[in-house]
Homo-oligomer: A and B are copies of this chain.
Amino acid sequence: MNTLIVGAAGMIGQKLANRLTADGRIGEQTLTALVLADVIKPPEPTPANTLDTTCTACDLTQSGIAEQLVASEPHLIFHLAAIVSGEAEANFEKGYEINLDGTRALLEAIRARHEATGYKPTVIFTSSIAVYGAPFPPVIDDEFHLTPLTSYGTQKAICELLLADYNRRGIVNGIGLRLPTICIRPGKPNKAASGFFSNILREPINGQTAVLPVDDTVRHWFASPRAAINFLIHAAGLPRNTVGPRCNMNLPGLSVTVAQQLQSLERVVGSDALKLVRHQPDDSIRAIVCNWPESFNAQRAEALGFIAERSFDDIIRVYLEDDLVRSDQQTK
């Protein structure tokens, strides 16, 4: 199986490429070639492997690029490419260009080949819980409407609709996955409003101080990077036509408060770590976070076999196992 990852230089993209390289297969299907594409050249997957791998720097929004990427008719496409929420909010045009027009260019390039040759790839698209906007019920179910309160969430919701229409028309076998907030993100603290959810764990684990800008009663929806990769691979391995026309879905995750995050930190890493977290309220971050979803009932994805962590202690252990020794490398 010939596979393309668009957005392969990001955190999820790199982990996915490493995992595919290590596994060499998805379910019953053996991987043959792997193309890793992003605006900056993605790193070679580690550990090195015999899988025929190509790393390419290219911009999906430039004319002809999407056509080049699908010219070899990859069976499986992971479309992860996007600029993040903060950037899409700060730069209106860039957000729509990359997050919407880029996705549309990819789908249109697939449609052109579909019409020419009958090509119909599986397309796994990473959406986000940012497609939701407050007010919410305490637990969001699979049929709650999408009313994003950011341009990023808007762009993701639009791409979901496009994916579903191309899926319904038989042009792609599409699945859109609304990833929970990924925690613990490896690497350095970043300025994303959601960054603190990872910072308050990762930094103390690494002996550094971290700032908590909200009350510890704030509740949010999490899955580990490892769970995210499992979601992508599970989606890619589902038999075609399993999902049907409602091809975009919420995923399992864990709804915990900041206090529960910190209790897990103490249990798994020790009480010294806790002392490195300083509570320093930031009203601007509080105002953003209060519009975020707290919990989901991801019944449908669970029935399809998607699995996330069942305790926040496990989420911390995943970081210790997968990322701790490599944290220096990933900070670049």
Identify the A interface with B (CB < 8 A): 92, 111, 133, 142-149, 151, 154, 157-158, 161-162, 164-165, 168-169, 245-246
Contact = CB atoms under 8 A, between A and B. Distances in A.
This chain's copy number in the assembly: 2
Nearest to A171: B92
A154 B147 contact: no
A165 B148 contact: yes
A148, A154, A161, A246: which has the most chain B beta carbons within 10 Å? A161
B149 A168 contact: yes
A157 B143 CA distance: 15
A146 B161 CA distance: 9
Contacts of A148: 161, 164-165
B146 A146 contact: yes
Contacts of A165: 148, 151, 154
A161 to B, nearest CB: 5
Contact of A164 (B142, B144, B147): B147
Contacts of A154: 161-162, 164-165
A92 B170 CA distance: 13
Contacts of A146: 145-146, 161
Given A92-B169, A143-B144, A245 B149 contact: yes
Contacts of A151: 165, 169
A161 B149 CA distance: 10
B92 A133 contact: no
B147 A145 contact: no
A162 B169 contact: no
A245 B147 contact: yes
A68 B183 CA distance: 49
A154, A165, A246: which has the most chain B beta carbons within 10 Å? A165
A138 to B, nearest CB: 14
Contact of A162 (B145, B158, B164, B245): B158
A161 B147 CA distance: 8
Contacts of A169: 92, 151
Given A133-B245, A146-B161, A157-B161, 17 more contacts: A133-B246, A142-B145, A143-B145, A145-B145, A145-B146, A146-B146, A147-B164, A148-B161, A149-B168, A149-B245, A151-B165, A151-B169, A154-B161, A154-B162, A154-B164, A158-B158, A158-B161
